[in-house]
Structure 1
Amino acid sequence: MENISQLWKTVQTPGFELSQNNNIIEQILEFARTSHAPAQVSFGTSGWRGEIGSEFTIRNLQVVGKAIVRMYREADAALFAELGIKDFAELQKKGLVLGHDNRFLGKEFCAAVAHEFLQADIPVFFAGEATTPEFSAAVEMLDAACAINMTPSHNPNHYGGIKFNPADGGPADTGITDVITRLANEMMPDHKFEPIPAELAWEELDILKVYKEFLEKQETIKFNRIESLVNGGRLALVVDHVHGATRGRPGYLLNNPKCLVSLRTEDDPLFGGVAPEPSSKNLEGVKQILDASKAWYRLGVIFDPDGDRIRFYDGTTEIDMNAFGAIAFHYMVTWRKLKGVVAKSVATSNFVNIIADSLGVEVAETPVGFKNFRPWMHRQAKPKALIAFEESDGISGLNNTLEKDAQFGLLLALEIIAVTGKNLGEYLEALYTECGRLYPERSGFDVERAMVGAPLLEKVQSIGEKVKIGSQIAVGDNSKEVKTVLTVDGVKIVFTDNSWMLIRPSGTEPKVRIYTECLDPAEKDDLFAAAKSLFFGK
């Protein structure tokens, strides 16, 4: 709806003040509550995201709720196996865990979906504002059938979103989300708006309490090792919540230590006008405090709104997930003395590959998307992932949630500092000294719109068929020998010097994404040019 989009553009104008322009927001929210306009539903990795007021509305969430219930009613044995229950009666027995992040109309959107489940005699456990990993943990602890989280994760403030998790608590795979998408779009045009009762018979759930009990039960984090650090008077701990659902979580999990400073905890669904993501730019508040700190140990983190992404700073060094995932894996093997594998997406740094090779540990390299770690993360997995992580700031670990868990990342960082006596930057520098340093980069280029979809995928796949192990590829004024070619998601070419390039097509846009990593930062442009030349056959 053009008028809604225009209103959102006004909201996103620099300098917009919610307190002075609340009438604009109220217009948008009224559309979200009352609009009968249908929307096209498209579930991605585990959820659907849309603009609040024009696409993401009460009416359209009623449709999605109906679609999910109908999926369970009509599921065959294969789909029930993927959902993790045996039949519809088991859904009615075990129920749904439901909640939302800090964005506009979270509880009302939940009510729209809850009403559909309750009408089908499916119990609903309502968590209120909560984080993505807490839903994953609650499904397991309550033995629930599924979870729904109203969040578009780190998307801009005008988006709403809905994530679905089956009975193992992990991100829903395409076998599930494709069915939800098909049924929702089939039902969308003819759905009649249904009034929602003011009072719903859901059961309120203290999901944070359940999440901490999960961590203690699974022995995911060694809390006894952290306690002396956070209460010892030598730690400065700064956490930036960017107004999201992680607010109050670190204090609860750590018993409110005096060393904890929490930033941006106020109610603000507009996130102060910033992109709500754990970026270098958004870390500035954390950096200012830790740069001035004289504490022996320093740790700063920033979360995204639903608590599934995190980035770190230690007063001297910014640590992204490419680096922290490698630190965490090395710690699990060398300090905790655990056995297993490390799981990472194909676009993630190969720094952990080098470390794993030196330790004699297998690397499971998967397509992009946290759902692809399930074979190494579920409770019966053999071997199990000690750490699973993606370059886009998501992480989980042994016996933890199948979802990304930024809170786990914070707690594990504290454990690493407590056990090793090193700040994260010191640990990282020691690894660089031992294993060498790689410099990751992301870029891309546009192609003709006619190539979107299958033609673009076929074009990229053809590169993987042509490039052979042992062949030479020109990179700048030099040539590199191909050591490995991976085709699990695009084409990743790894060279004998451990530099690499990944050529990966977008599935929805006329774009090709290029990921590179090299030992010399001056080589970044040459690797990108070489990848582009391979794509165009030059």
Structure 2
Amino acid sequence: MDTPISFGTDGWRATLDEFTSPRVQIVGQAVADYLREVEDRAGDTVAVSYDARETSRGFAEDLCRVLAANGFDVLIPERDTPTPILAWTITDRDLAGGLMITASHNPPEYNGVKFIPSDGAPALPEVTDEIMSRLAEPDPLSEDEHGVVREQDFVAPYEEHVFDLVKSDLSDLTVVYDAMHGSGRGVTDKLLEDAGASVERLHCEQDAEFGGTSPEPDPDHLQELISAVEDGAADLGIANDGDADRLAIVTPERGYLDENLFFAALYDYLLEDDSGPAIRTVSTTFLIDRIAEAHGEEVHETPVGFKWVAQAIEKHDALVGGEESGGFTIRGHVREKDGVLMALFAAAIAKERPFDERVDDLLAEFGEIHQNKISLDCPDAEKQRVLSDLETELPDEVAGKDVEDVVTKDGFKILLEDGSWLLVRPSGTEPKMRVYAEGDSETRVSELLTAGEKLVEPLI
């Protein structure tokens, strides 16, 4: 069937001229057929949730109708709900799976849908391939075989669970929380308050246009939060993206905190009372490796994409898993990145001692790390050719340092003799090649990115 539906790194996302009700129903039918034919879950219960976009509830209801018409009972929340809460609900209630209507951090003119299997972890390619192979127009059963759709509260049971994981009393802690008008509003801020924190709220009103920008928690979009923390008396600033599966942290001294440094602080904090390896993507800092080594632990590296992190967490019984784009989870929780849970952990870390103090101590012990990345325009159809050409052009030296090794888990990660590295990989969501670099100073990172651009750009 000729259709623009295509499941990429994290489901199917498209602008609303392509992301339409008939096509969403086609996805719903494919999921129903997959659950019936591959998972043998015919007649079981499925959850459907949605983010804060204007069109999301309607698309979610489209999915509910298709699934119910295929004999599945369906649970749907009364209001938009963070993606990680849907994932946890699936595992908590032993559901057959779930569907989330969200375009995450994309602008308002986008929407999307992702399938979450019964284990609550991101769907692996073999699952999404099976769903893609079943794309078809809705094919309802006879009416007497239809399931029922029920509204239920997903948040209250989740709240009880996360307070079992984060037992810190947040009294006397002041947090500024920026929901970016997304699904974290009324959820993350409420949990922080319920744990005892004083919470100052930014952009916690529902706005389907996200204030005229994208709900992407990067420094450019968080200037108001940064100013509120740097100019006020808050101990910490926290922001979630549109569907609250990622977070950003703002500290009084550093302002926007590099997500790699948050990962390091989180792992360091967890290792105070627990043990276990860490999982990180190829684009995430080696600082995690240094912390692990100091505690006699291991680090396992994966390609970019939380589905690979989730798979490795299970394989290695990891204490924590994360990626430099702000997605993290821990052992004992669902294997999906969770910006709500991480907000509570960030506050607990800050309550124990100031975030900046902990990060300062880590960098003093393990060495300075700096990281940045650039993107180079590259049509999707050209990405594999560029990688093939790059393989024959890999240098023996980059920015004045010899190449010690090349890791090929995801693109080419060039490891240099001074401990710095350069990574070139294709974006899984945009027509771009990504170039990442890590070194012991901003100057070194700039040199590496310049060298990477000169290496890759002629090949595009």
Cα shift readout 1:347-383 (whole Å, capped 9, x = no counterpart): 11222222223333211110000000123333xx4x3
The equivalent position to 1:108 in structure 2, one of 58, 63, 76, is 58
Q: Distance in 2 between matches of 1:241 and 1:515?
A: 28
Instruction: List alignment gaps of at least 5 residues for structure 1.
Output: 1-37, 81-86, 194-199
Q: Distance in 2 between matches of 1:271 and 1:308?
A: 16
What are the equivalent positions in structure 2 for 1:42-441 lying under 5 Å apart?
42-52=6-16, 54-75=17-38, 80=39, 87-89=40-42, 92-93=43-44, 95-127=45-77, 128-184=79-135, 187=136, 201-216=148-163, 219-221=164-166, 223=167, 226-227=168-169, 230-231=170-171, 233=172, 235-256=173-194, 257=196, 259-294=198-233, 298-317=235-254, 318-333=256-271, 335-336=272-273, 338-378=274-314, 381=315, 383-419=316-352, 422-441=353-372
8 Å CA contact 1:325–1:387 kept in 2: the answer is no
Shift of 1:143: 0.6
Amino acid at match of 1:357: E
Q: Distance in 2 between matches of 1:126 and 1:400?
A: 22
Q: Distance in 1 between matches of 2:402 and 2:295?
A: 24
Q: Distance in 2 between matches of 1:148 and 1:444?
A: 31
Q: Distance in 2 between matches of 1:497 and 1:280?
A: 29
Identical aligned residues as a percent = 31
Q: Distance in 1 between matches of 2:91 and 2:139?
A: 35
Q: Distance in 2 between matches of 1:300 and 1:485?
A: 38
What are the equivalent positions in structure 2 for 1:12-31 lying under 5 Å apart?
none
Amino acid at match of 2:55: L
Shift of 1:510: 6.1
8 Å CA contact 2:192–2:199 kept in 1: the answer is no
Shift of 1:171: 0.8
Q: Distance in 2 between matches of 1:101 and 1:446?
A: 29
Amino acid at match of 1:456: V
Q: Distance in 2 between matches of 1:51 and 1:397?
A: 33
Q: Distance in 2 between matches of 1:374 and 1:461?
A: 29
Q: Distance in 1 between matches of 2:288 and 2:246?
A: 19
- Note closer, same or farther for the CA distance 1:41–1:114 as it changes in structure 2 (3 Å cut): same
8 Å CA contact 2:302–2:308 kept in 1: the answer is yes
Amino acid at match of 1:311: A
SS in 2 for 1:503: strand
Aligned residue number for residue 144 of structure 2: none
RMSD of equivalent CA atoms: 2.7
Amino acid at match of 2:219: S
Shift of 1:505: 2.9
Shift of 1:43: 0.8
- Note closer, same or farther for the CA distance 1:354–1:67 as it changes in structure 2 (3 Å cut): same
Cα shift readout 1:269-311 (whole Å, capped 9, x = no counterpart): 001101211111222222232223346xx01111111001111
Structure ranking higher on relative contact order (CA contacts 8 Å, 6+ apart): 2
Structure 2 residue 21 is the aligned partner of structure 1 residue 40: no
Instruction: List alignment gaps of at least 5 residues for structure 2.
Output: 141-146
Aligned residue number for residue 143 of structure 2: none
- Note closer, same or farther for the CA distance 1:115–1:340 as it changes in structure 2 (3 Å cut): same
8 Å CA contact 1:101–1:150 kept in 2: the answer is yes
Shift of 1:261: 1.1
The equivalent position to 1:498 in structure 2, one of 408, 419, 422, is 419
Q: Distance in 2 between matches of 1:450 and 1:70?
A: 30
Amino acid at match of 1:285: E
Shift of 1:255: 4.7
Q: Distance in 2 between matches of 1:507 and 1:255?
A: 37
Aligned residue number for residue 386 of structure 2: 456
Shift of 1:106: 1.9
- Note closer, same or farther for the CA distance 1:444–1:291 as it changes in structure 2 (3 Å cut): closer
8 Å CA contact 2:238–2:248 kept in 1: the answer is yes
- Note closer, same or farther for the CA distance 1:255–1:529 as it changes in structure 2 (3 Å cut): closer
Shift of 1:506: 4.1
Q: Distance in 2 between matches of 1:275 and 1:508?
A: 15
Q: Distance in 1 between matches of 2:433 and 2:423?
A: 10
With structure 1 as the length reference, what TM-score do the two structures score?
Answer: 0.78
- Note closer, same or farther for the CA distance 1:528–1:285 as it changes in structure 2 (3 Å cut): closer
- Note closer, same or farther for the CA distance 1:358–1:482 as it changes in structure 2 (3 Å cut): farther
Structure 2 residue 452 is the aligned partner of structure 1 residue 531: yes
SS in 2 for 1:183: coil
Shift of 1:474: 4.2
8 Å CA contact 1:156–1:276 kept in 2: the answer is yes
Larger Rg over CA atoms: 1
- Note closer, same or farther for the CA distance 1:509–1:59 as it changes in structure 2 (3 Å cut): closer
Amino acid at match of 1:288: S
Amino acid at match of 2:58: E
The equivalent position to 2:397 in structure 1, one of 473, 498, 513, is 473
Q: Distance in 1 between matches of 2:317 and 2:41?
A: 31
Shift of 1:265: 1.5
- Note closer, same or farther for the CA distance 1:487–1:450 as it changes in structure 2 (3 Å cut): closer
Amino acid at match of 2:372: E
Shift of 1:163: 1.3
SS in 2 for 1:98: strand
Amino acid at match of 1:213: E
8 Å CA contact 1:45–1:171 kept in 2: the answer is no
Amino acid at match of 1:362: E
Aligned residue number for residue 14 of structure 1: none
Q: Distance in 2 between matches of 1:288 and 1:527?
A: 31
Q: Distance in 2 between matches of 1:507 and 1:208?
A: 31
- Note closer, same or farther for the CA distance 1:428–1:481 as it changes in structure 2 (3 Å cut): same
Cα shift readout 1:235-284 (whole Å, capped 9, x = no counterpart): 22110001111111134324544611111111210011012111112222
Shift of 1:339: 1.9
- Note closer, same or farther for the CA distance 1:107–1:451 as it changes in structure 2 (3 Å cut): closer
8 Å CA contact 1:343–1:387 kept in 2: the answer is yes
Aligned residue number for residue 519 of structure 1: 440
Q: Distance in 2 between matches of 1:332 and 1:135?
A: 25
Shift of 1:88: 3.3
Q: Distance in 1 between matches of 2:156 and 2:214?
A: 29
8 Å CA contact 2:123–2:307 kept in 1: the answer is yes
SS in 1 for 2:31: helix
